[in-house]
């Protein structure tokens, strides 16, 4: 089945620094990947759609200059949280799909804590 690898699984960083999160499709090519954020006791909220070879599409209210997305190959998308602040502390999860009909596989998630 489709496997999406995400790392790191957790990261602690100082306020003002940047953090990069990687998401890889291991056994399939993903032209599109999705990045979600989940705050404690809340559901997943889509942040952006990552398209291979083109600019990401951000959801309303998500700062594209703060959350940089790069999808340079068919198997790798990265999310960089720039100038992180404590309010960016959250669980970040990527997902991809072979096709829309097969459901969406999620990466294992990255717990970001900004201190």
Which stretch, 16-24, 70-78, 80-88, 97-105, contacts other proteins (CB under 8 A)?
97-105
Phi then psi for residue 24, to 5 deg, are -125, 135
Instruction: List residues bridging with 38 in a β-sheet.
Output: 91
Between 33 and 84, name the residue whose CB sits nearer to other proteins: 33
Which stretch, 18-26, 64-72, 77-85, 92-100, contacts other proteins (CB under 8 A)?
92-100
Q: Which of 57, 70, 80, 82 binds other proteins (CB under 8 A)?
A: 57
> 98 vs 7, 29, 40, 88, 90, CA distance in Å?
20, 7, 29, 30, 27
Binding mask 18-47 for other proteins (x = CB under 8 A): --------------x-x-------xxxxx-
CA distance linking residue 42 with residue 75, whole number of Å: 29
Phi then psi for residue 18, to 5 deg, are -115, 150
Determine the size of the site formed for other proteins (CB under 8 A).
24
Classified as helix, coil or strand, 111 is: strand
Per CB under 8 A, 75 contacts other proteins: no
What residues make contact with other proteins under the rule CB under 8 A? 6, 32, 34, 42-46, 49, 57, 93, 95, 97, 100-109, 111
């Amino acid at each position: 089945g489709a496997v999406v690898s995400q790392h790191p699984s957790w990261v602690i960083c100082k306020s003002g620094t940047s953090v990069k999160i990687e998401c890889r499709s291991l056994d399939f090519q993903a032209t599109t990947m999705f990045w979600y954020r989940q705050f404690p006791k809340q559901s997943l909220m889509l942040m952006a759609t990552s398209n291979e070879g083109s600019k990401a599409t951000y959801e309303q209210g998500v700062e594209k200059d703060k959350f940089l997305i790069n999808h340079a190959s068919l198997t790798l998308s990265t999310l960089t949280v720039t100038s992180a602040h404590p309010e960016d502390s959250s669980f970040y999860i990527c997902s991809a799909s072979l096709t829309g009909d097969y459901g969406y596989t999620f990466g294992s998630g990255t717990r970001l804590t900004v201190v």
